[in-house]
Structure 1
């Protein structure tokens, strides 16, 4: 197995005189917000997810929730995870947990952790709650 990895590294390092060969990377500029919004207007779950991520990165969390929700409801896995993360950032843990649960075993584990943390915070004597 090690020799295969070594050969891949060697092949990636080989570059011809014209610059061909070796590792190939394609870089594209991030689409503008206007381009992402126009694509999202088609209703494509992928486009909605991309626009929602852009809004989230820009700190426009409430708008991101509005854009990501239809994509997540359509079953787009990335949008489901991005929606859950956005809701968590907004402090809406229970909603986030519900969306995480739709993302398979890893999402279920995240939902469990969110709910366990909430239960710990609600326990008497926890920092968020006075002891009786």
Structure 2
């Protein structure tokens, strides 16, 4: 091995050590302000969720077979849909925009008995449920 190769290897080794050491320095930044701003954000989120939850009272629908429910006014946000079906065939639920008749969400499509809940982020508006079933069912909408 000649001297120039040894010198190059030494320089590269030193460079690697310097870069490695500089990445190991401790951060002495004051994070107290960051922590406070995070708790402020969490507080804002919690108060927003509480105000939304208080604006919507859960609604329930019961029936059997195919049926479109009465419409309900949704304030917007996370919608929880709990459902039960006592049947042997398809149980299909679509969340429908009552203003234009478009399907907002495909909620459920199962065969047989169902005891389930799902959650969707739904914008504010007037909605109804389009239910197809061969047995009795109950659906509850809540936040």
TM range (shorter): under 0.3
Name the structure, 1 or 2, with higher relative contact order (CA <8 Å, separation 6+).
Answer: 2
- TM-score where L is the length of structure 2: 0.25
